[in-house]
Amino acid sequence: MKKIITVGREFGSGGRELGRRLAEELGIAYYDKEIVSGIAEETDFSEGYIRGVVECTPSKLHPITIGRSFAYVGDYQLSHIQSVYSAQDKIIKNLAREDCVIVGRCADYILRDENPYRIFVYADFVSRLRRCTDRAYEGESLSEKQIKQRIRDMDKGRAKYYDYYTGQRWGARENYDLLVNTTDVVIKDIVGGIADIVKKSRA
């Protein structure tokens, strides 16, 4: 059976690392930032603008984060957002023609007809704060307060985007096959076990 694995994740939970290592362990492709680049090529929008839409970052997509629905967004902006959604849908379906791991971007929902194995990665706040503080940001230097705010903002954005796009609840167990808590866990140590579960569940 084709192996399509989707990974949803809380910010700072190590979901991206888990997805990448899982793809290595299974010897299949891994897609994450490539999707944003693909959408940029498809739509001519900048990668920054696209990240704003698909991760619903407050500074990038102000009306959505303060409003209750897309009714607050002007027609012009709405048509841009729909172009991004449509390109994202097309690119993810295209990537999933072969075995792969896809991180984020509502891939679990977009690929629902492919019976993907849907993982959600999460951790407690302290552990996520530590992961965010430990990892090197690209040229960034944030205070602890700013990192805490970023974790909250990112998760709020992801949840809002997922809930709007899928009509389901982000991180609710019924939308996933496996939910993995990475608090005090070394991710590379548990990837073998997860790969084994995926292989047996999609044999």
Task: Report if residue 179 touches a second copy, rule: CB under 8 A.
Answer: yes
Task: Report if residue 186 touches a second copy, rule: CB under 8 A.
Answer: yes
Nearest-angstrom CA–CA distance, 193 and 202: 14
Stretch that binds a second copy, among 51-59, 85-93, 149-157, 192-200 (CB under 8 A): 192-200
Residue 137 burial (CB count, 10 A): 11
Nearest-angstrom CA–CA distance, 179 and 176: 7
Instruction: Please report, in angstroms and rounded to a whole number, the separation of the first and last CA atoms in the chain.
Output: 6
Which CB, 5 or 35, lies closer to a second copy? 5
Task: Report if residue 189 touches a second copy, rule: CB under 8 A.
Answer: yes
Nearest Cα residue to 131 out of 177, 92, 182: 182
Task: Report if residue 169 touches a second copy, rule: CB under 8 A.
Answer: no
Task: Report if residue 81 touches a second copy, rule: CB under 8 A.
Answer: no
Beta-ladder partners of 121: 9, 180
Task: Report if residue 194 touches a second copy, rule: CB under 8 A.
Answer: yes
Which of 114, 124, 153, 163 is close enough to bind a second copy by CB under 8 A?
A: 124
Residue 40 burial (CB count, 10 A): 18
Beta-ladder partners of 4: 100
Supply 200's token pair: 């047996």
Residue count, binding to a second copy (CB under 8 A): 26
Measured from the CB of residue 11, what is the shortest distance to a second copy in angstroms?
15
> What is the contact surface with a second copy in residues (CB under 8 A)?
120, 122, 124, 171, 173-174, 176-181, 183, 185-186, 189-190, 192-197, 200-201, 203
